[in-house]
Amino acid sequence: MKKLRIAVISCGAGPGGGESYWGVCHERQLAAAYRALRAGEPLPWTPEDAKRTLEIVQAIYLSACTQSPVRL
């Protein structure tokens, strides 16, 4: 079984004062990526992390469509 790296990011309040599920966390992730690239350091995540994330999202959609659990 592959190990999954999990990073918990506090998104904070969005521009409207409430929790923002679009933009704020992505903005922080992109800023971290730019910082790493400018410093010549590795990105905060690997291609394997990104692949695993997409597998999880695909499983969520498949589970919703089939109304059944999906094994990863």
- Residues 50, 69 within the same domain: yes
- Domain assignment present for 62: yes
22 occurs within a structural domain = yes
Q: Report how many domains make up the chain.
A: 2
Expressed as residue numbers, the domain containing 31 is: 12-41
Over residues 10-46, the pLDDT tens digits come to: 555 555 554 555 556 777 888 889 999 999 999 988 9
Residue 31 resides in a domain: yes
Whether residue 55 lies inside any domain: the answer is yes
Cα–Cα distance, 69 to 22 (Å, whole number): 27
Whole-structure pTM value: 0.55
23 and 37 inside one domain:
yes
Q: In this predicted structure, what is the pLDDT of residue 20?
A: 56
What pLDDT is stored for residue 42 in this prediction?
Answer: 93
For residue 62, the model assigns a pLDDT of 92
Confirm whether 53 is domain-assigned. yes
How crowded is residue 38: how many other Cβ atoms within 10 Å of its Cβ? 8
